[in-house]
Every structure is written in C-alpha cells, then in structure tokens.
Amino acid sequence: MKDLQPTVYRDGATICILEGGDPETGDFGCGSTMEEAMAAFQDSYEKSKENSL
C-alpha cells in the first residue's frame, strides 16, 4: 500500500488536503472543518483507486 503524505492547507476559511500534483489530477478534498476535509479527501482517494482498476 502506498504511504500517503498529503499537503494540508487553508484557503481562507476552508481546509484543503491534496495528494498529488494539483487538485485536477491528484486526490483532493476541502471542507469547513478538518473532519469535512478528511471525508472529502477519502472520497476522492477511493474514487481514484476504483478508476485505476
């Protein structure tokens, strides 16, 4: 399994998590809380893994 080392940053009041080059090609999630951002990131990660099969 790949070890993830995503970048976590704020964009105004929004918390974003990015793994990969950019939000268009990497795994990406944002939310108003860390929990929301993590849930959105996990959804993105799981969808990208489904698409790579």
Q: What is the pLDDT of residue 53?
A: 72
Q: What is the pLDDT of residue 38?
A: 97
Q: What is the pLDDT of residue 1?
A: 45
CA dist 22 and 2 (Å) reads: 18
Q: What is the pLDDT of residue 35?
A: 98
CA dist 5 and 25 (Å) reads: 16
At 1-53, the pLDDT tens digits run 468 899 999 999 999 999 998 999 999 999 999 999 999 999 999 998 888 77
Q: What is the pLDDT of residue 2?
A: 67
